[in-house]
Amino acid sequence: MLLKKNKQTNRAELKINGVKYHLDIIEGSTGEKALDIRQLRSDTGLITLDPGYKNTGSCCSSITYLDGEKGILNYRGYAIEELAEKCSFVEVAYLLLHGELPNLEQLNRFRHLLRRYALIHEDMIHFFDHFPPNATPMSILSSMVNVLCNYYPEMSDDPLENIDSTAARLISKIRTIAAFSYKKSIGHPLVYPRYDLDYCGNFLNMMFDRPVIPYEVKPEIVATLNKLLILQADHEQNCSTSAVRLVGSAGVNLYAAISAGINALWGPLHGGANQAVIDMLEAIYKDGNDFKKYIEKAKDPDDPFRLSGFGHRVYKTYDPRAKIIKKACDETLAILNISDPLLDIAKQLEEVALNDDYFKKRKLYPNVDFYSGIIYRAIGIPTNMFTVMFALGRLPGWIAQWKEMWEDPETKIGRPRQIYAGPTKRELIPLHER
């Protein structure tokens, strides 16, 4: 059910050139308030200017709530800490899509759909052969997801009619596409999905099983991967989610909208941030572990260097997901009996930053990307697959956001305004006179 917009009796007053205008104040279920400016241009002739949409709400949503000042993140009302500790990724995917956690019967049905749709059309496997050898996994993923609409066109007439099957198909097949793209990149034979393995176990087996060295699916690593994907499953109206909604608002099929989200996530300022953290930690390691040097570089206003994995557009305190991932990182490396020097550097950076006035005043705390890359490294996932892993986790949230947009009767095609700052009317000089 969509968030019900509650118009308050009190209204904001806007005065322009002596004329008073009244704007409704809308309050969400958690007390967050917004000015309703939908009639602003028609009433006043003015628009708002908000680069990056830092103060603009694009929709009302009942999927994810976060409070950046208090470090709160909830999916459908459930605290992220509880979901990560007590649920599987498949349960959370169902929750995001349907608004409620599944009972056993609903969960088994959803699992069956995920297993049923795990294979990709055999013709699509040949596509991998035609990508350049150095093709990035994200470009392959976005292309292959976009192509899915040609093989499964049943959404054309009524996008919501078979949404359960379509969502399960996407969530299941994207995992297979990701694993196949990795296998192709290293020249290994493809490993097909198995019906007896669960979602995360299946992915790990497709990634790392080899004819000469069978892969052992460890329950502890499966649990860690479940946790990572849960933490990345949705995060309100971020860049990639907004891309899915914006492209989806044009009436395109779900696959095209998800492909747009994948491309947005690809950016180093968004889903590529955990790869940047690993690159930074490796640079510090190669520089003799002199992490204090990099702390000073980050504080130098004349130095363009910034600490990757610190700070967040919304969180102004410790990212609640980072706390969970930090604990999972220690546990995973202990289970695998791995001592990663990058983890030691990360902890030293964190300790210094959390006690340094420069970082505290600027509210630069570790975010979700700071430790996730270290876990992926320990599991065996290469750096160029980190953003793909993010896409796997974020997919249920994208689908849920797209579904909510389609169900909302107030949805309109996205069309931001602008303030034109170019030349005014100019006289055209014929070509032979220029």
So which residues are the catalytic ones?
312, 369
Coil, strand, or helix at residue 33?
Answer: strand
Tell me the C-alpha distance between 421 and 382, whole Å. Answer: 45
CA angle (291, 293, 297) in 5-degree steps: 115
Residues pairing with 74 in the sheet: 65, 79
CA distances from 169 to 23, 113, 130, 349 (A): 44, 7, 24, 41
Element (H, E) at 246: helix 239-248
How far apart CA 265 and CA 244 sit, in angstroms, is: 11
AA identity, residue 307? L
Nearest Cα residue to 346 out of 270, 271, 272, 295? 295
The number of CA neighbours under 13 Å toward the Cβ of 125 is 12
List phi, psi (to 5°) of 308.
-75, 145
d(CA 128, CA 124): 8
- Roughly what angle, to the nearest 10 degrees, separates helices 386-407 and 219-231? 50
Is the separation of the CB atoms in 276 and 30 below 8 Å?
no
Contact between residue 193 and residue 202 where contact means Cβ atoms under 8 Å apart: yes
- Residue 261: count other Cβ atoms within 10 Å of its Cβ: 31
Question: Residue 170: left (phi > 0), alpha (psi -120 to 50), or beta?
Answer: alpha
Phi, psi of 280 (to 5 degrees): -65, -45
What is the CB neighbour count within 10 angstroms for residue 431? Answer: 6
Q: Two tokens at 169?
A: 């198909």
Read out DSSP for 104-173?
A: HHHHHHHHHHHHHT-SPPHHHHGGGGGS-TT--HHHHHHHHHHHHHHH-GGGSS-TTTTHHHHHHHHHHH
